[in-house]
Every structure is written in C-alpha cells, then in structure tokens.
Amino acid sequence: MLRDVLGKTFRFLGYTVQYGCIAHCAFEYLGGIVVCSGPSMEPTIQNSDVVFSENLSRHFYCIRKGDIVIVKSPNDPKSNICKRVIGLEGDKVCTSNPSDFLKSHSYVPKGHVWLEGDNLRNSTDSRCYGPVPYGLIRGRICLKLWPLNDFGFLRASPNGHRFLDD
Amino acid sequence: MIMAQAQGLGKRYIKAFLKGFFVAVPVTVTFLDRVACVARVEGASMQPSLNPGGRQASDVVLLNHWSIRNYDVQRGDIVSLVSPRNPEQKIIKRVIALEGDIIKTIGYKKKYVKVPHGHIWVEGDHHGHSFDSNAFGPVSLGLLHARATHILWPPQRWQKLQPMLPPERKPLHREQE
C-alpha cells in the first residue's frame, strides 16, 4: 500500500519535472504567450492584450529597428517592459521630447538599444532611463492573439518621425 | 521468425531511445540554464583570484544560477554577467557595490557614483587590466548570469570562492547596513 503511494508520488514528481523542463526549453528557446498591461504602447497594443513573443531573434541577434520587444526592466530585473526598438547600436536618436524647443541627439552606444513606447505622451522609456543593454531583451513580439478583432501581425510605429535615418 | 524478432527489438530500442532523448535533453538544458554549469575563465582581469597562471592554465569555475534566481548578490561575490558592450560575451567580475551605495571610482567619467536602483557596480581584481564598471558604469541586475562559487580545475586550485570585498573598495556610504 505504502509502496504504491510512494511509487505514484515519484512518478508524478518525475512527470512534473519532465514537463517543467520541456516548458522551460519552449519558453526560453522558442517563444511564449504574454499578457501586456499598461498604456505605453497604445494604439498598437492596448491594456490586457494577449500577444505571442518569439525568443529566437534575440538568440540569433537579429532584432531590427521597429521591432516590438519584451525587455527586462533596467531598474527592476523582476519585471518586464514592452517597447518598440527605435535605434540599434550606432544609430542616431533624438533624446529630447517632441514638446522641447531645442532638439538634442545622441548615438546609441555599442551593445545597447533605444526603446520608446508608441504612446509617446504616456510612456517611460529610453527618453527617461537611457539606452538599454541588448542583453536585457527577452523576446520579440510577432503576433497579437487577443482581442480577436485585432488578431494578426502588429502595425508599424505611428511615430515614424522618431526613426532618424543617418 | 528471427528477423521479425530482431525488427521488433530494433523498434523497441528506437522507441526507448527517443523517449530517453526527450526526457534527457530538456532536463539537461534546463539544469544548465537554471541550476548550474561550468565555464573556463579567460583573461587576466580577475588576477590573482582567478587565472593567476595566465594563458597557460585557465581556471574552470562552477557557475551557480540557482543562488541568484532572486538577484540576491552580496558585496564581494564573484559573478558572471552578460557584457553590456557585447551581448554575445559573458564577463566575470567581483560585485563591489549594490544599489544605493556611493563609491569612489577608478578612471570612470565621474569621480563618485551612487549606484542606481536595480543596478550593481562590478570590478575586476586586476585594476587597469579589467573592462568593468569603471569603463561602462553601473550594470543592470537583469544582466546577471550566475555566481561563481568554486574553482573546479586545475585540481591544485580546488577551492570554494568566498565573497571578499577589498577594504580599499568599500563604499563610502551604505544604504542599508
């Protein structure tokens, strides 16, 4: 009787470990479903939208300008933020706000990216905390899953003027 | 009759192999990503604590991911992190200051730095031969990869790495005692 219970418990633990490891490999190397919260990416991504984030691009270092990425917050490693890549290393970015009279520019340092939310008026992003190291990027959002009337690939940035071409 | 039996055995072996493969690979990968792995240390930036012999005898260290899963590091720990300048590279340095500490820098653009929230200040033990926070500033805790806990190779250098903060690098003001 006890042997039966022990046997069942060990089998259950074994399956939990095995499926947990498969889940880790799937999230880490393929992708996962993410629920976004907050207003900083409106209108592209609204509060409580469900998106699919693929994690292959960051492992192969092919994140591009204009991609929407999930990044570990530079000031709080336990939370994630979702922003758009405005500049890659070496790119020129505008560090001043649209409302400023005098515009200031700088170049994104090596190994970093410049992130901005699509909702420029209500977003704390690189304009606030500076360029973000590439190593903090967790994944690239490629598909919106919910709400269904907005299913599909994500739109391009509504702020085309923030992308400066050299 | 023998052929059929051999084919049956072959199929069973393949099935058993695939079953084992789909268990062993995810478990091993998860272990190496989340629990611990080993790595060879290159370079002279942590001399004399690591690699005192230079290129002839590189130390191999045990990297413990599990102990930093909540980003709990102490001053003096030797940690590996993703390089802020090159995300394809990992660097191994000593934690000198935590968030809130004010420290005096060696060759950084500002003489005194208060480490921002969610960041740490790392330095190599071999000042002047180390690409560390004195070059790239405070690093975000999110870049933390693992804590180096033991030297595994060469055998004469087997030891547990103790957190040791050089007295001349103590912060000027600690946020929490």
Q: Dump pLDDT digits (tens) for B52-107.
A: 887 778 899 999 999 999 999 999 999 999 999 999 999 999 999 999 999 999 98
Decide if A24 and B34 are in contact by the 8 Å CB cutoff.
yes
Question: What domains are defined for chain A?
Answer: 33-163 (2.10.109.10)
Average pLDDT for B157-176: 84
Residue B104 near residue B114, CB atoms below 8 Å: no
Alpha helices by DSSP H, listed for A35-110, are 56-59
Would you state the pLDDT for residue B94?
95
The reported pLDDT for the residue numbered B20 is 84
Strands (E), A60-111: 68-73, 76-87, 92-94, 105-107
Instruction: Give the model's pLDDT for residue B177.
Output: 46
Identify the closest residue of chain B to A27 by CA–CA distance.
B30
Q: Is B142 on the interface with A (CB under 8 A)?
A: yes
Position B120 scores a pLDDT of: 96
Where residue B124 falls among pLDDT bands split at 50, 70, 90?
A: very high
Q: What is the pLDDT of residue B136?
A: 93
Q: Please state, for a pLDDT cut of 70, what percent of chain B lies above it.
A: 97
Q: Which of B23, B83, B140 is the closest to A18 by Cβ?
A: B23
Q: How is chain B split into domains, by residue range?
A: 1-34, 37-169
Query: Residue B128 pLDDT more than 90?
Result: no
Token digits of residue A5: 């219970």
Q: How far is B102 from chain A (nearest CA, A)?
A: 17
pLDDT, chain B, mean: 90
Q: Which of B92-96, B115-119, B126-130 has the lowest mean pLDDT?
A: B126-130
pLDDT for the residue numbered B117: 94
What is the tens place of the pLDDT at every residue in B8-18? 788 888 888 88
pLDDT of B175 reads: 56
Model pTM score? 0.87
Of A75, A76, A111, the CB nearest to B83: A111
Do A75 and A119 meet the contact criterion of CB atoms below 8 Å apart? Answer: no
- CATH superfamily, domain B37-169, is Umud Fragment, subunit A (2.10.109.10)
- State the ipTM, two decimals: 0.87
pLDDT along chain A (166 residues), means of 10: 90 91 92 91 90 91 92 94 94 81 88 93 91 95 90 87 73
User: Could you tell me which residues come within 8 angstroms of residue A66 by beta carbon, excluding any fewer than 6 positions away?
Assistant: A84, A85, A156, A157, A163
Asked whether the predicted pLDDT for residue B137 surpasses 90, the reply is yes
A111 vs B30: CB contact, 8 Å cut-off? no
